[in-house]
Structure 1
Amino acid sequence: MLKRLAPQIFAAARACSGGQLQQQANRTLAGSSVTSDKFPYFDAPNGPAVTSVPIEEEWYNRQRNLLPIMDKVPWIQPDTWVAPNAVVSGDVDIYDKVGIFFGAVVRGDLNKIRIGGYSVILDRAVVHAARAVPTGLNAATLIGDSVTVEPYCTLRSCRVEPKVLIGARSVVCEGAIIESETILTPGSVVPPARRIPSGELWGGNPARFIRKLTGNESKVITDSAEHYIALADMFMREELPYGTQWREVESYREKQVASNEYQWLNFREQKYLMRLHEEAEQLARLSQK
């Protein structure tokens, strides 16, 4: 039944918005065995999760990915790429050819964060710095050159020397030191104040020595950073350059919408109608048992 009503549901989604969406959904379902009278929750005041601003008027992502905190302002190089939904805030210095990927957070609100050249912070990784650490050492987070921080990692008030690969979902705690040419396996947890010597493979929770790195593994560290830097360059070329040219593009598209030359399909409303119908069918099957 859902497939049979899909064209009507999509037509309803394109034809209505706001408060009319619920009424149109009820009319669409009226010909089926599922009606609004049988399931009064259809008339609930909460409708689809849509904003008050028409979606066709939102052409660009207006999230700010560089945020000052009081007098602490992020400093980046022109060839550094920060993803549109990543956040770099506070006392953060990012040097040449760095990539901050989608959903990553680099937050220097309590202390300094320094990220060296040709390093990458991948998706949803978090880099933070505490105000102080129990060891009494510098609580800043210092990341050297050619370091790859894989997705979902957390680094806090630690020191990572150049040419290090930190596996996905790893945690490096306060005061830890990872020396150069080191690999952490995915899911590793480096306890506070732990020192990992150069040229070794560590892993586990807590992280333990596994073995010495081979020559090929040492090359993997730099190859990984170079691969993601090339990917960041590609993403950067896809973005609009700095300037006000986007205003003319937005004005042109608004004219297209006004003259019906550009049609926007609101998939959020369509998905809501589909989910509404699926829930109604499930309740209908349960009531027949």
Structure 2
Amino acid sequence: MIPIKIGIIGGSGFANPDFFQEESSKEIVTPFGKPSAPFRIGKVNGVECVLMARHGINHTIPPTYVNYRANIWGLKELGCTHIIATTACGSLREEIHPGDIIMFDTFIDRTNLRTSTFFDGVENTPTRGVCHIPMEPAFCNKLSEVIYESACQNKVSAHPKGTVVCIEGPRFSSIAESKLYRSWGAHAVNMTAIPELCLAKELGLLYSAIGIVTDYDCWHEVIVNAQDVLKCFKKNIDKVSLLLQNVIPKISTLPWDDEITSLQKVVATSMVN
């Protein structure tokens, strides 16, 4: 069986969870620059994990300027096979309440300033050629299902799937945009799912995102502001921390060889040299 190591990407307000054991810190300079923060290496209930603070330890990096490539490359270099990302999101549906979590299963990309591939034709990097990676399925369905089932067992209000619209940020949506996303059938809006997901898939990493609902976006006729979003996110940190502590040991006991090797084949067949 392929040994499992789980990368955890901490979103807004989730940079320093206290559930790591046997912890150390490691700085890596990747071929794509410096990651957002040093990697925290340790164990969660006996399972080897690596934590990356997406926005920096003190949330100093806005979504557009996160070095997603360096973060994902570093997790791969440290031996991760899976990534569980936590991310704040705004609900686009009445039934998806602030404080709920939602497991994204597909996305609409509204970003336009980010490098979304490792294979960009730049010389002197370890990636060559062009990678036309398919995005269906976008997220790892098996990983998301395990997290969702664990959330339900722990009585966390959770939604098993949903479409996320990833916007450029750091500004929030206008009401016209918010209503447009609702008309598309989307369930949530956030600022970091893309290109993080795409890059993880290019490197053959199984990726799932826990969307932590912080607000109803502005379609609900309530003005969204950063302080309220962070306050709601922090209010739910303990809930998400407990969920991760419960689900990570479960993930480690499951067979993942088929999913990992299948994704590796997808990557190989997506390359044009």
- Bigger relative CO (Cα 8 Å, ≥ 6 apart): 2
- Into which bin does the TM-score normalised by the smaller protein fall? under 0.3
- Structure (1 or 2) with the larger CA radius of gyration: 1
Give the TM-score taking structure 1 as reference length: 0.24
Give the TM-score taking structure 2 as reference length: 0.25
